[in-house]
């Protein structure tokens, strides 16, 4: 069963078409990465799918119960403790107060934070720890779908890998579906069941590649070999590192 379906979705910005004919499906328990050159509209697709932006054409069908989103920046409330940041979705959902502290602590531990981190403020955390808090905030309400909008772009290679492993483990344990926006081919290979490649001009999905095996079970050598194959011998990926400076919403 598809948790998320986009059917010929289009979007225009100030009368200029920036996306057209976008169709995709994501199943329960499936992580799908959307790749495309910088400026091609990947994030706009995620925002439309999540309901943050209204599409101008097509349909968005959401069969999930509850979704969350992790952005490139952690977007934590600087005046609130880490615990209150993580627990904010529970307040919005009016979850029982007696359950909130335990659920916040469980989500924090799942994201690699310690109980003593919950009383700190975001300014006291490193960039990686702030991103862990953002992931914990996404997990705390036990969503069955999560949008990841280039969440690890600003992190160094080693930290990015740890964050990827965190998402892989969380998806395996929580069985949520996910749309993962990235421009990093190796990241898409590590984290995904399927990779979708956006057409260079934003006019539809150019194609897809299913990645053999499960995320987290592929060796580094397999990942690097597949990346090399995609970038040097697969025409679907020929434009992936080009830059499109079209105006985007």
Same domain flag for 96 and 159: no
pLDDT given for residue 109 in this prediction: 94
Q: Is the residue at 49 inside a domain?
A: yes
* Domain extent for 27: 1-65+146-249
Same domain flag for 186 and 139: no
| pLDDT tens digits, one per residue of 43-61 | 999 999 999 999 999 999 9
The CB density around residue 206, as the number of other CB atoms within 10 Å, is 19
The stretch 163-169 carries a mean pLDDT of 90
| Three state DSSP letters for the chain | CEEEEEEEEEEEECCEEEEEEEEEEEECCCEEEEECCECCCHHHHHHHHHCCCCCCEEEEEECCCCEEEECCCCCCCCCCCHHHHHHHHHHHCCCCHHHHHHHHHHHHHHCCCCHHHHHCCHHHCCHHHHHHHHHHHHHCCCCCEEEEECCCCCCCHHHHHHHHHHHHHHHHHHCCEEEEEECCHHHHHHHCCEEEEECCCCECEEEEEECCCCCCCCCHHHHHHHHHHHHHHCHHHCCCCCECCCCCC
Domain final position from 143, 172, 194:
143
Domain final position from 89, 119, 143:
143
d(CA 180, CA 90): 24
Same domain flag for 163 and 245: yes
pLDDT given for residue 16 in this prediction: 87
pLDDT given for residue 69 in this prediction: 96
**CATH number of the domain within which 163 lies:** 3.40.50.300
pLDDT given for residue 242 in this prediction: 67
Same domain flag for 109 and 202: no
Count of the separate structural domains present in the chain:
2
Same domain flag for 166 and 130: no
Decide which of 21 and 159 is more confident: 21
């Amino acid at each position: 069963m598809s948790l998320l379906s986009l059917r010929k979705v289009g979007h225009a910005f100030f009368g200029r078409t920036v996306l057209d004919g976008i169709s995709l499906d994501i199943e329960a328990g499936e992580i799908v990465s959307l790749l495309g050159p910088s400026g091609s509209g990947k994030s706009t697709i995620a925002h439309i799918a999540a309901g943050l932006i209204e599409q101008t054409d097509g349909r968005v069908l959401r069969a999930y119960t509850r979704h969350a989103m992790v952005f490139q920046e952690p977007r934590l409330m600087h005046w609130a403790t880490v615990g209150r940041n993580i627990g904010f979705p529970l307040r919005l959902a009016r979850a029982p107060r007696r359950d909130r502290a335990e659920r916040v602590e469980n989500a924090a531990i799942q994201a690699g934070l310690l109980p003593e981190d919950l009383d700190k403020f975001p300014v006291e955390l490193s960039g990686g720890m702030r991103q862990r808090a953002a992931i914990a905030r996404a997990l705390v309400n036990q969503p069955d779908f999560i949008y990841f909008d280039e969440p690890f772009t600003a992190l160094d290679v080693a930290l990015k890998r740890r964050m990827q492993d965190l998402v892989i483990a969380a998806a395996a344990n929580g069985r949520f579906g996910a749309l993962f926006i990235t421009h990093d081919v190796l990241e898409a290979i590590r984290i995904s069941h399927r990779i979708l490649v956006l057409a260079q001009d934003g006019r539809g999905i150019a194609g897809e590649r299913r990645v053999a095996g499960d995320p987290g079970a592929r060796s580094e050598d397999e990942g690097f070999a597949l990346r090399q194959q995609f970038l040097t011998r697969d025409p679907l990926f020929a434009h992936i590192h080009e830059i499109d400076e079209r105006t985007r919403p």
